Structure 1
Amino acid sequence: MIRFESVTKQYPDGTTAVDDLSFEVAEGELVTLVGPSGCGKTTTMMMVNRLIDPTRGRIVVDGADIAGVDPVRLRRRIGYVIQQTGLFPHRTVLDNTATVPFLTGWKKAEARARAAELLDLVGLDPDVYGPRYPDQLSGGQRQRVGVARALAADPPVLLMDEPFGAVDPVVRERLQKEFLRLQATMHKTVLLVTHDIEEAIRLGDRIAVYGAGRIEQYDTPASVLGAPATPYVAEFVGTDRTLKQLSVTGIDRGDLERPPFARLGEPASEAARRLRAEGARWAVVLDEDGELHGWVGAEELAGAGGTVAGHARRMEAWVPFTSTLKAAFSEMLKHDAGWIAVLDGHRFLGVLTPTKLHEALRRTIDSDERGVPRDRARVDSVPTQ
């Protein structure tokens, strides 16, 4: 979808912003450009919509060399989101969102209907927020409007320059999650500039780590963290890159343990007998379809009447199977739990323990460093006494 071919940008004073840049962004891929201030990442992005023209080289977007495309027409086909949102202060939120459809000749009613649809998509009720003006919104709400406006003409390419940088960390993380949800639905081709390696890791399908005017490494977040290509990348990613890898490592079914379980409608006395026989102090409680209902302690069942349902407790510590190891670890810490349930929808798959979480992380690091598939990486654990 986007291809840079030996692209260089040099200014009249001799400053080289980017030097001989070559890389590709696949259709539907979200690529983060990360690096320190002045490294050329924003220049790279601004050359895609010809706010800056390259000195040498070629940029191809959707099969066309953009040097031969009228800049105005090009920009109307590319969404653009910046840190300060750039909303027009004298126009309502609805009309701000409908700006590009207005400019491209949509009828007013159609443009506003599209704007309302997108405001709803980014979590802003158009009936509530549409009539407001930008200064009546919070920083996070203005960022959402900026994203909605960029998507209004349904562009195939989206450029985002520090889009979540002007809000506090809590709102920033919420916006990042919201954008990932949108991207999973829209599959836009996205270039996102950030100076924050955590954000780059969290959002990117691939990461371009910039040095001075060039890309030092272009790879998946897991590979950048697990196998930095240069000492510069290793230093930029940080000495805690092993911990960062938790955020890009998914849960594997092979890492889940199956603890004792009791059925919701099972007699409490029968469940107590089985737990005693297994030497178990507790069990997860499942219904007849294998869906998680909660957990129960062996002591509570001992001598109890009725069914397990009358003694089960709510399960607080759980995550979806699609979660990362970081999310699982966070839930463990939040609930001070020695294990965490993993669900596929409502269906119980098993539990993840700290030991298995550690083994999964070590296996991921080993596979990245050795360049072997993760299912072939071995982890030798030292038995605990």
Structure 2
Amino acid sequence: MIRFESVTKSYPDGTLAVDDLSFEVGEGELVTLVGPSGCGKTTTMMMVNRLIDPTSGRIFVDGEDVSGVDPVRLRRRIGYVIQQTGLFPHRTVLDNTATVPFLTGWKKAKARERAAELLELVGLDPGVHGSRYPDQLSGGQRQRVGVARALAADPPVLLMDEPFGAVDPVVRDRLQKEFLRLQGTMHKTVLLVTHDIEEAIRLGDRIAVYGAGRIEQFDTPARVLGAPATPYVAEFVGADRALKQLSVTLIDRDDLERPPFARLAEPAADAVTRLRGEGARWAVVLDADGALHGWVGTESLAGAGGTVADHARRMEAWIPATGTLKAAFSEMLKHDAGWIAVLDGRRFLGVLTPNTLHEALRRTITPEERGVSRGRPEVDSVPTE
């Protein structure tokens, strides 16, 4: 969808902003450009919609060389979101959002209807916020309006320059989650500029790590963290890159352990006899369909009547199978648990332990990153079947 071919941008004073840049962004892909201030990432993005023209090389959007397209027409079909939002202070939120449809000749009623739909999509009630002016909104709300406005004409390409940089960390986290939700629905082709490696990792399908005017590494977040291409990239992503790796490493079902289990309807006396025979001190409790109900200790079943259901306790530490190792580790710490259940919907798949979390992370890091030592203290895992 976006292709750079040997693109260079230099200025008369000798400044080389971008040096011989070549890369592609696939349709529906979100690519983050990350690097220190002055490295050329914003210049790269602004050349796509011709706010800046390259000195040499070519840029294509959907197969069309942008140098041959009228800049105004080009910009009206590329969404653009900046840190300061750029909202018109004298126009209402609804009319701000409808700006591009207005400019492209939509009828006023249709443009405002589209704007109202998008405000709702980004989490703002058009009935409440539509008639307000930008200075009556919080910083996070203004950023949401900026995103809605960029999407108003349904552009295939979205350019975002530090879009969440002007808000506090809590609001930023919410905006990032909201944008990932939107992207999962709308599948826009996105170039997003940020100086924050955490944001780049969280949002990007791929990351372009910039040095001075050039890309040092262009790869998935997992590869950038697990196998930095150069010492510069390793330093930029940080000494704690192994911890950052947790946020981009999905749970692998092969890493799960299967602890002993008891069925809800099973007589307590039968369950305790069987579990003690297996040497188990506790068991997960499943219903007839394999859904997780809770857990039970063998001591609570000893000499007890009724069924396992009468003695089962609620399971607090669990995570969906689509989660990341970071989310699993966070839940483990939150509940001070030695293991965490993994569910597919309600169906119980197994548990992650400190051992399996550690092994899963080690596989994502190159031998060079792990170092020579293989020794580590053993951590007791849950019993297995």
TM-score, normalising length: structure 1: 0.94
Please report how far the alpha carbon of residue 45 of structure 1 lies from its aligned counterpart in structure 2 after TM superposition. Answer: 0.3
| 1:29-44 alignment, distance < 5 Å | 29-44=29-44
User: Aligned residue for 1:163?
Assistant: 163
Please report how far the alpha carbon of residue 342 of structure 1 lies from its aligned counterpart in structure 2 after TM superposition. Answer: 0.8
Please report how far the alpha carbon of residue 269 of structure 1 lies from its aligned counterpart in structure 2 after TM superposition. Answer: 2.4
Q: Which amino acid in 1 is paired with 2:181?
A: R
The count of corresponding residues between Structure 1 and Structure 2 is 377
User: Aligned residue for 1:174?
Assistant: 174
4+ aligned runs moved over 3 Å, structure 1 = 366-370, 379-385
User: Aligned residue for 2:15?
Assistant: 15
State how far apart, in whole Å, the 1-side matches of 2:361 and 2:70 are: 49
| 1:80-159 alignment, distance < 5 Å | 80-159=80-159
User: Aligned residue for 1:240?
Assistant: 240
Q: Is the 8 A contact 2:9 2:18 kept in 1?
A: yes
Please report how far the alpha carbon of residue 111 of structure 1 lies from its aligned counterpart in structure 2 after TM superposition. Answer: 1.5
Q: Is the 8 A contact 2:247 2:326 kept in 1?
A: yes
Q: Is the 8 A contact 2:139 2:166 kept in 1?
A: yes
Q: Which amino acid in 1 is paired with 2:90?
A: H
User: Aligned residue for 2:199?
Assistant: 199
| 1:1-385 alignment, distance < 5 Å | 1-366=1-366
Please report how far the alpha carbon of residue 40 of structure 1 lies from its aligned counterpart in structure 2 after TM superposition. Answer: 0.4
1:302–1:132: structure 2 CA closer, same or farther, 3 Å change rule?
Answer: farther
* More divergent stretch after superposition (257-266 vs 194-203): 257-266
1:315-338 CA distance string (max 9 Å, x none): 211111111111111111111111
1:9-30 CA distance string (max 9 Å, x none): 1112221111111111111111
State how far apart, in whole Å, the 1-side matches of 2:276 and 2:53 are: 74
Q: Which amino acid in 2 is paired with 1:142?
A: R
Q: Is the 8 A contact 1:343 1:350 kept in 2?
A: yes
Q: Which amino acid in 2 is paired with 1:89?
A: P
Alignment gaps of 5+ in structure 2: 381-385
Q: Which amino acid in 2 is paired with 1:71?
A: P
Q: Secondary structure at the match of 1:365?
A: coil
1:171-203 CA distance string (max 9 Å, x none): 111211111111111111100000001111111
State how far apart, in whole Å, the 2-side matches of 1:265 and 1:145 are: 53
Q: Is the 8 A contact 1:223 1:368 kept in 2?
A: no
Q: Which amino acid in 1 is paired with 2:86?
A: G
Q: Is the 8 A contact 1:82 1:161 kept in 2?
A: yes
Q: Is the 8 A contact 2:227 2:366 kept in 1?
A: no
State how far apart, in whole Å, the 2-side matches of 1:147 and 1:368 are: 41
Q: Secondary structure at the match of 2:209?
A: strand
Q: Secondary structure at the match of 1:209?
A: strand
State how far apart, in whole Å, the 2-side matches of 1:6 and 1:369 are: 32
State how far apart, in whole Å, the 2-side matches of 1:18 and 1:85 are: 25
> What's the C-alpha RMSD, in Å, of the aligned pairs?
1.9
State how far apart, in whole Å, the 2-side matches of 1:283 and 1:116 are: 52
TM-score, normalising length: structure 2: 0.94
1:216-256 CA distance string (max 9 Å, x none): 11111111111111111111111111111111111101000
Q: Which amino acid in 2 is paired with 1:331?
A: E
User: Aligned residue for 2:383?
Assistant: none
Q: Is the 8 A contact 1:226 1:368 kept in 2?
A: no
1:13-61 CA distance string (max 9 Å, x none): 2211111111111111110000000000000000001111111110000
1:76–1:367: structure 2 CA closer, same or farther, 3 Å change rule?
Answer: farther
Q: Is the 8 A contact 2:294 2:312 kept in 1?
A: yes
Please report how far the alpha carbon of residue 5 of structure 1 lies from its aligned counterpart in structure 2 after TM superposition. Answer: 0.7
Q: Is the 8 A contact 1:222 1:368 kept in 2?
A: no
Q: Which amino acid in 2 is paired with 1:341?
A: A
1:284-328 CA distance string (max 9 Å, x none): 122221111222222222222222223222221111111111111
Q: Which amino acid in 1 is paired with 2:266?
A: E
State how far apart, in whole Å, the 2-side matches of 1:340 and 1:268 are: 24
Identity %: 87
1:383–1:169: structure 2 CA closer, same or farther, 3 Å change rule?
Answer: closer
Alignment gaps of 5+ in structure 1: 371-378
Q: Is the 8 A contact 2:257 2:352 kept in 1?
A: yes
Q: Is the 8 A contact 2:355 2:379 kept in 1?
A: no
